[in-house]
């Protein structure tokens, strides 16, 4: 569907450093539950599986991880349904220390880096298929381009999946979100402060609902992504832009995928067309 408005980078509550931790903690848990409920991991997993096979090693480096929900769901589906058991490294410019402490205390196949990792300048020692789930729209254009450019310059495999789109359909889908988040709050354990700002004065569900609609306004259109990658072209690297349909929400999930080509693929892609 054609974009309904130009991209607007309004603020999201969950991005604000001044927001009390009990509020961001509530929103992170509700979002994690939402990703499970809408089966986002199953939507994205096949594309990530294909990149892992291309990469030739079962390693994922997740960027802009936040609370870690989406990538953890993708890894669960990869393990249960695709027989792939990747080592997962989660990173963020502002690491979620609570999530990091939970993940780092479990096993050796999951690591959340507690030092800031810039997605536009990923350390070379962090090797693996790069992923970004529901995080690309948080970046202003110069940072979004920088993230893509770093993957391209380093010839890294990358998959970027979004759950929002700048379309009337997406706005309609996410408009009732505050009421849905309110009902979901009964399914999580919460503190007294979280319960008060959910059931007493329902501020938290509406804050997260605002974030959902703003995410739609922030999401890059395919035209804008094509403009980014028009500056990142080479015979040995391929970009794919597309959409994946989520039947649970009856809406499209935009994605971007990039990967280096083998020498044989380069020859095919650069061969002159024949009649």
Whether 174 shows a pLDDT value over 60: the answer reads: yes
14-25 tens-digit pLDDT? 888 899 989 988
> Mean of the pLDDT values across residues 110-115?
95
Residue 272 — very low, low, confident or very high, per pLDDT cuts 50/70/90? very low
Q: How does the average pLDDT of the chain come out, rounded? A: 91
Supply the pTM of this predicted model: 0.90
**Strand duo 158-161 + 251-260: pairing:** antiparallel
Whether 264 shows a pLDDT value over 80: the answer reads: no
152-168 tens-digit pLDDT? 999 999 999 999 999 99
48-105 tens-digit pLDDT? 999 999 999 999 999 999 888 789 999 999 999 999 999 999 999 988 888 888 899 7
The pair of three-digit structure tokens given for residue 192, joined into one six-digit string: 């007294």
Residue 275 — very low, low, confident or very high, per pLDDT cuts 50/70/90? very low
Whether 41 shows a pLDDT value over 70: the answer reads: yes
C-beta separation of 44 from 74 below 8 A: yes
Query: What residue has token string 């995928």?
Result: 257
Whether 117 shows a pLDDT value over 90: the answer reads: yes
Domain residue ranges in the chain: 13-261
pLDDT score of 144: 97
Whether 239 shows a pLDDT value over 60: the answer reads: yes
Whether 193 shows a pLDDT value over 80: the answer reads: yes
Residue 274 — very low, low, confident or very high, per pLDDT cuts 50/70/90? very low
pLDDT score of 220: 97
CATH of 13-261, one of 3.30.1780.10, 2.102.10.10, 3.40.50.150, 3.30.70.120: 3.40.50.150
Spell out the SS3 assignment of 206-238.
HHHHHHHHHHHHHCCCHHHHHHHHCCCCECCEE
Strongest mean pLDDT among 35-44, 101-110, 125-134: 125-134
pLDDT > 90: what percent of the chain? 74
pLDDT score of 267: 57
Distance (Å, whole) CA 224 – CA 220: 6
Residue 273 — very low, low, confident or very high, per pLDDT cuts 50/70/90? very low
C-beta separation of 255 from 160 below 8 A: yes
Packed helices 40-55 and 69-82: angle between N→C axes, nearest 10 degrees = 70
195-238 tens-digit pLDDT? 999 999 999 999 999 999 999 999 999 999 999 999 999 999 99
**Torsional sign, CA 87, 74, 238, 232:** negative
């Amino acid at each position: 569907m054609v974009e309904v408005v130009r991209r607007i980078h309004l603020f999201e509550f969950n991005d604000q450093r001044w927001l009390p931790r009990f509020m961001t903690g509530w929103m992170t848990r509700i979002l994690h539950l939402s990703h499970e409920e809408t089966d986002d991991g199953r939507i994205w997993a096949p594309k990530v599986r294909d990149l892992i096979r291309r990469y030739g090693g079962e390693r994922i480096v997740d960027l802009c991880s936040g609370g870690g929900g989406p990538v953890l769901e993708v890894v669960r589906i990869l393990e249960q349904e695709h027989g792939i058991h990747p080592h997962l490294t989660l990173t963020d410019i502002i690491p979620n220390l609570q999530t990091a402490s939970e993940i780092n205390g479990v096993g050796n196949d999951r690591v959340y880096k507690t030092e800031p990792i810039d997605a536009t300048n990923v350390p070379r020692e962090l090797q693996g298929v790069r992923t970004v789930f529901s995080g690309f729209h948080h970046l202003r254009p110069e940072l979004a381009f920088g993230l893509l450019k770093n993957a391209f310059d380093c010839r890294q495999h990358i998959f970027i999946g979004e759950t929002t789109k700048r379309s009337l359909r997406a706005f309609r889908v996410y408009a009732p979100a505050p009421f849905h988040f309110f009902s979901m709050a009964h399914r999580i354990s919460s503190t007294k402060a979280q319960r008060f700002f959910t059931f007493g004065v329902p501020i938290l569900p509406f804050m997260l609902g605002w974030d959902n609609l703003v995410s739609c306004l922030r999401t890059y259109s395919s035209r804008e992504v094509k403009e980014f990658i028009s500056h990142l072209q080479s015979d040995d690297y391929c970009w794919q832009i597309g959409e994946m349909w989520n039947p649970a929400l009856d809406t499209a999930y935009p994605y971007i995928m990039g990967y280096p080509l083998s020498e044989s693929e380069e020859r095919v892609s650069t061969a002159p067309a024949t009649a």
